[in-house]
Amino acid sequence: MPRSEPGSSRRPLADHSRSHASRGAGRRYTDGMSTTTVVDPAAETAQHRLARAKEASRSIARLNSGEKERALEAIAGAIESNAADIVAANRVDIARGREAGIGDALIDRLRLDDKRVAALASAVRDVAALPDPIGQVLGGHRMPNGVALEQVRVPFGVVGAIYEARPNVTVDIAALALRAGNAVVLRGGSAARESNTILVEVMRGALGGVGVDPEAIQTVDDFGREGARALMQGRGFIDVLVPRGSAALIETVVTESTVPVIETGAGVVHIVLDESAPVEWARDIVVNAKVQRPSVCNAVETVLVLRQAAPLLVPVVANALQSEGVAIHGDDVVAGLVSNVIPATDEDWATEHLSLDISMKVVDTLDDALAHIRRYSTGHTESIITNDSRNAERFLAEVDSAVVMANASTRFTDGAEFGFGAEVGISTQKLHTRGPMGVSELTSTKWLARGAGQTRG
């Protein structure tokens, strides 16, 4: 089993250290006459952690499947045996969050209790049980001149993640990254600092215990905004960066990054109720998509109802939602059919509520519904409820989102539901991967060419 070289794992790459120190990793003293910079070679920067992750990624890439399974099993075991400390650290985060007035939906995402810690460990074991994608031969052929070409799956190298205060993401992404032979650099939301610190410590300890370089898991949480900036600008060290969280966080990462980004998550998710929508499907699917877990990205935010069916469907669906405590932001037609409707503003159509709020609008035609979706969708998930297979197929073909559904709840857009094990996120971009991302989506490929002296004519 590979082991990090003694004494080397804590040292940054020599070149990088030099260039960085000369840019002022040390402290600066002013003596009134001149300014002297005293370089402290021991001062650790976020870039050093990136460099150590890159260095570690080489040995991680060479682990075989069994070695990676043992490393993940060690992580799962260590999470279980440190459960009490993890929950205690999380309590500190929760208390600080309550003091800071964080809303219930965010507190729910932040919370770790015994059951959720057990679920974390179990998710790691699920990832360990997934097939190893590395080394898979994706294709190949012999060139006419006899050179043998082969395309194989390889790790990315170093996966970066920037996310909000959800400690389960810390473990999920580290486990998925490792399964795919990658090192990982994590930057979680500051509200989950205590939880993330102990989780990273526990995971690194577990790796060291089975002879895997613990430098393969890094956090830059303690560098604040500078840590996030180092990730976003980490060309040469970060091979892919995955932001997970609010639209604002994702926008920042996409705009400021010079490393390749996989855009995830923000979901202004639509359900269209077609003229032929069976009433019970419409009611049950909308209620499930809004109420089952309102704080996540695959929850529905806007319901579009075809005008001809509105008198039948709007009261049934709206009453069912209201009896579950959902506030309806509706247009005039909706307000004319149901009581207690908050008048919808233009902003509502573009809003990811992530709460027990829903926007509801009546449209004249399926064309109008499609146009509304084109304008306001974030490309995550949309579903149509219909009994008309022509409309269903048109919707499936024309809606340009990661997941397009007919007659199913948008809550199914999820790595576990799709059978991928734990999930890195839901990609809403078109490059590399689209929709729920599992282990295979954290890999790249390379081409191998084996010849016998061939030259190009």
Least distance (Å) from a second copy to the CB of residue 227?
20
Beta carbon of residue 328, minimum distance to a second copy (angstroms, whole number): 19
Burial of 397 (0-12, 13-18, 19+ CB in 10 A): exposed
Among 173, 404, 422, 439, binds a second copy (CB under 8 A): 404
The contacts of residue 334 (CB under 8 Å, 6+ apart) are 305, 310, 314, 318, 328, 341, 344, 360, 361, 362
Q: Which is nearer to a second copy, 123 or 271 (CB)?
A: 271
Q: How far apart are CA 237 and CA 346, in angstroms?
A: 42
Give min distance, CB of 453 to a second copy, in A.
4
Taking a C-beta distance cutoff of 8 angstroms, is the pair 310, 333 a contact? yes
The answer to whether 382 and 410 have CB atoms below 8 angstroms apart is: yes
CB closer to a second copy out of 74 and 373: 373
Is 406 a binder of a second copy (CB under 8 A)?
A: yes
Half-sphere exposure of 68 (CA within 13 A, CB side): 31
Q: Does 143 bind a second copy (CB under 8 A)?
A: yes
Tell me phi and psi for residue 287, to 5 degrees: -60, -45
Q: Is 141 in the site for a second copy (CB under 8 A)?
A: yes
**Contacts (Cβ under 8 Å, ≥6 apart) of 418:** 412, 435, 436, 438
Q: Nearest distance from residue 274's CB to a second copy, in Å?
A: 13
CA 175 – CA 123 distance, rounded (Å)? 9
Q: Name the minimum Å distance from CB 307 to a second copy.
A: 23
Per CB under 8 A, 345 contacts a second copy: no
**What's the closest the beta carbon of residue 134 comes to a second copy, in angstroms?**
11
Q: Which one, 99 or 346, has the nearer CB to a second copy?
A: 346
* Of positions 215, 239, 275, 352, contacts a second copy by CB under 8 A: 239
Question: In this structure, how many other beta carbons lie within 10 angstroms of the beta carbon of residue 133?
Answer: 20
Binding mask 310-339 for a second copy (x = CB under 8 A): ------------------------------
Q: Judging by beta carbons within 10 Å of its beta carbon (0-12, 13-18, 19+), is residue 406 exposed, middle or buried?
A: middle
Distance CA 10, CA 202 (A): 18
Q: Which residues contact 238 (CB under 8 A, 6 or more apart)?
A: 50, 158, 159, 160, 185, 231, 259
Spell out, one character per residue from 241 to 280, where the chain touches a second copy: x when CB under 8 A holds, - when not: -------------xx--x-xxxx--------------x-x
**Applying CB under 8 A, which of residues 91, 96, 125, 434 lies at the interface with a second copy?**
434
356 binds a second copy (CB under 8 A): no
Among 86, 202, 240, 328, binds a second copy (CB under 8 A): 240
Query: Does 418 contact a second copy by CB under 8 A?
Result: yes
Closest CB 348 distance from a second copy, rounded Å: 17
Structure tokens given for 331: 């247009």
10 Å CB burial of residue 119 (0-12, 13-18, 19+) is middle
| Position among 408, 421, 423, 428 found at the interface with a second copy (CB under 8 A) | 408
Judged by beta carbon, residue 23 or residue 430, the one nearer a second copy is 430
